[in-house]
Amino acid sequence: MKPWGFELDEIRVPVMIWQGGQDRMVPFSHGQWLARHVPGATARLLPDEGHLSLVVSSFDRILGELVAAASAA
């Protein structure tokens, strides 16, 4: 682990965090942690999804929420 080059509380742009509980590459707890530490983040923490299945099963929802957020900005 290395510093990212910025602090999470410095983030001033909209952030969406999508994390699956069955993800074998990124621990679910990391998504939960990010959701708590990124100011104003919108978190979608889906316990029954994995790293890739989340995108496959939720692609339309993810895209729709990103488009809606971009339109509102």
How would you class 20 by CB atoms within 10 Å of its CB: exposed for 0-12, middle for 13-18, buried for 19 or more? buried
Give per-residue pLDDT as tens, 13-23: 899 999 999 99
Q: Residue ranges per domain, the chain? A: 18-72
Give per-residue pLDDT as tens, 15-44: 999 999 999 999 999 999 999 999 999 999
Element (H, E) at 70: helix 53-72
Q: Taking the model in full, what pTM does it have?
A: 0.86
